[in-house]
Structure formats: structure tokens, C-alpha cells
A and B are shown apart, each in its own frame.
Chain A
Amino acid sequence: KAGVTQTPRYLIKTRGQQVTLSCSPISGHRSVSWYQQTPGQGLQFLFEYFSETQRNKGNFPGRFSGRQFSNSRSEMNVSTLELGDSALYLCASTLGGYTDTQYFGPGTRLTVL
């Protein structure tokens, strides 16, 4: 069974631009969570989707948004990029429960110049 895939793997953008990251979960997994990982802040929860519905959202500004499609693939969008948005963005999928094991993708490394 294929693992969680994330595209693109690396991205360089400039301040003010917007970016869309994609995550394809393991087949059959209906829940996708997104995280921002930085050296100073550790792993910060962005949001979680289950069957196209956002069930929970972390403490991030409205510039960060996401969605999930009927095939469980998910995208997250960051508008008006800031230097502080430079980070590794991880997505993780589970069968359905947040108490299940999360399977992580390799991440998208976003650099904002």
C-alpha cells in the first residue's frame, strides 16, 4: 500500500505570494491532519479534515486554509506569505480516528524569501 505523499517536496516563494500544498493520504484513510514544523516552535497543529469536513483548527491566522476532496486528498493554502511561514509542512493521515496511529508524509519544505 502506498504511503502518504506530499507535493511539492520543496518550494521557494517570495513574501506576499500565495502557495498551495497537496497531500494524498494512504488509500482508505479518511482523516488528514496538517502540521507546521519549525526548529524553534516544534510541531504546530494547523487543521484536521475528515470526510471533507474540518473537525478542528489550530491557532493560525486566516491566511492558512485547507480543504479535503471526496477522494480524501487534501490541500492547504497560505496566502500573503510572510518570512515566518518558512517551515516544513507535514501532513498525516489516519483511518478515521484522531486516536489512531498517524502516518506521515515526507513534508513540503517551504522557504519564503
Chain B
Amino acid sequence: AQTVTQSQPEMSVQEAETVTLSCTYDTSESDYYLFWYKQPPSRQMILVIRQEAYKQQNATENRFSVNFQKAAKSFSLKISDSQLGDAAMYFCACAYDSNYQLIWGAGTKLIIKP
């Protein structure tokens, strides 16, 4: 079975510091896409970052970057200079070539301490 695992149910970080959220996935597929989505409290889920597995270069979006280790099947999200507005649930997800759906992790709740 294809799975996505987020081993940290909750993380906290001081404002302005850096935090890394972990995600591992399990697949035998060769072609897939990885995502991090953010769900702020009582607000809509939005995409943070998207990575195509065939691309070696790690995706980056402003303060958000990923560390994609294909061999280790790891896709962690690094948030630099954390801000209060980054407080949210973060979900890792994977889309496989053979599936018409995303496989989702259980989520990590990120708390930002002022």
C-alpha cells in the first residue's frame, strides 16, 4: 500500500527561528509528485510547495523550502524566519501515476511562539 507518514503530530518554534517538518512516503512508482499543504485555523487549505520527483533540485517558495531525498523517500519542509501567520496544520501528500487521488499524511500542527 502507498503511504505517507508524518511522524510529528505537533511542533513548536520560536518566532523568527527555523523549523523542519518531516514527511516520508512509501512507493514503488517511478513517477510521482509531492506536496505540502497548509491549513490555518478555520481557514482554507492552500498549497505551500510542490515537487516533481524526477527533478533533482529542491523546490523553494520564499521562506519555504524542501529537502527531497528520493532514495530515502523523504520530503521534509523547512520554514525559515517563522512568522505568527505560519501557525497551521501542515499536510504532506503524494500523487502517483497510477492513482487518481492524493495520498495524505496525518498532518503536523505547527505552533509559533511569540
Of B46, B91, B101, which one neighbours A33 at CB under 8 angstroms?
Answer: B101
Instruction: Name the A residues within 8 Å of B37 (CB-CB).
Output: 102
Instruction: Name the B residues within 8 Å of A92 (CB-CB).
Output: 45
CA distance A107 to B45 in the complex (A): 10
CA distance A45 to B104 in the complex (A): 9
Tell me if A98 is interfacial: C-beta within 8 Å of chain B.
Answer: yes
Residues of B contacting A: mostly: strand
Tell me if B106 is interfacial: C-beta within 8 Å of chain A.
Answer: yes
Tell me if B28 is interfacial: C-beta within 8 Å of chain A.
Answer: no
Complex interface residues of chain A between 70 and 89 (CB less than 8 A to chain B): none
Count A interface residues, CB 8 Å.
20
Q: Is the CB of B50 within 8 A of A101?
A: yes
Q: Is the CB of B101 within 8 A of A104?
A: no
Q: Is the CB of A42 within 8 A of B44?
A: no
Q: Is the CB of A45 within 8 A of B44?
A: no
Q: Is the CB of A90 within 8 A of B45?
A: yes
Counting contact residues on chain B (CB < 8 A from A), the size range is 20 to 34
Q: Is the CB of A99 within 8 A of B33?
A: yes
B24-40 vs A, Cβ < 8 Å mask (1 yes, 0 no):
00000000110101000
Tell me if B99 is interfacial: C-beta within 8 Å of chain A.
Answer: yes
Q: Is the CB of B100 within 8 A of A48?
A: yes
Of A42, A56, A101, which one neighbours B106 at CB under 8 angstroms?
Answer: A42
Q: Is the CB of B100 within 8 A of A56?
A: yes
Tell me if B11 is interfacial: C-beta within 8 Å of chain A.
Answer: no
Instruction: Name the A residues within 8 Å of B100 (CB-CB).
Output: 48, 50, 55-56, 98
* Interfacial residues, chain A to chain B (CB-CB below 8 A): 3, 33, 42-43, 45, 48, 50, 55-56, 58, 90, 92, 98-99, 101-102, 104-107
